[in-house]
Amino acid sequence: MLFQLFARHPLLPLILSISVLFFMLTACGSGSGNGKLGNGSNNDDGGVIGLSQKGSTNSHNDSRRGANCMECHVNGGPGTGAFVTAGTAIQATGGYVEYYADLARTDLRARLEVDAYGNFYTVNAIDLLTPNMSGLSPGAYITIVMPGGTTRNMPGAVSHTSASCNVCHSAGGTQSPL
């Protein structure tokens, strides 16, 4: 039966092989020190590369912290992984950055943990920041949740073109650092 399926769809084996390879290359696991983001140490803190996590030290704790993460972390860039969104929120270290579909913040779509260095990032798609066929994305309303539970809401929505938070929220940006 499988042979008959392959005979009718000659590209199916190639598609399956590419899919399996893709999942093998993008599988989550603990950092091994190779290709590790950040401080240059070989300590394995158990964090997942490409996704910020509370307590993780896989990100930068040097002069790059607070800079535009997506200057390097883009397809073909020198950073490890192409980030969908990223930034630095020092005061929220150990807290969260939440992405909502609505201004009332009732439709939570993604929550990123802020790591030990105050950085948050992901290489995983967030539907609100994924461009459609026209190159537009719905946009997300952002809330920063401090470790004690207090929140800070961004008044407007961000799209995939403005999801690099440190572009605006930095010493040289148009908004105060987070």
The whole-number pLDDT of residue 111 equals 94
Query: Which bin fits 123, alpha (ψ -120 to 50), beta or left (φ > 0)?
Result: alpha
Run of H or E including 161? none
Cα(64)–Cα(134) distance, integer angstroms: 33
Q: Is residue 59 part of a domain?
A: yes
Q: Is residue 30 part of a domain?
A: no
Q: Is residue 126 part of a domain?
A: yes
Q: Give the residue numbers spanning the domain of 97.
A: 49-178
Q: Is residue 101 part of a domain?
A: yes
**Total domain count for the chain?**
1
Determine the average pLDDT of the residues in 100-129: 92
Least confident of 15-19, 48-52, 99-103, 151-155: 15-19
Least confident of 3-12, 70-79, 124-133: 3-12
Whole-number CA gyration radius for the chain: 19
Q: Is residue 13 part of a domain?
A: no
The whole-number pLDDT of residue 28 equals 33
User: Whole-prediction pTM value?
Assistant: 0.70
With cut-offs at 50, 70 and 90, classify the pLDDT of residue 11.
low
The whole-number pLDDT of residue 7 equals 52
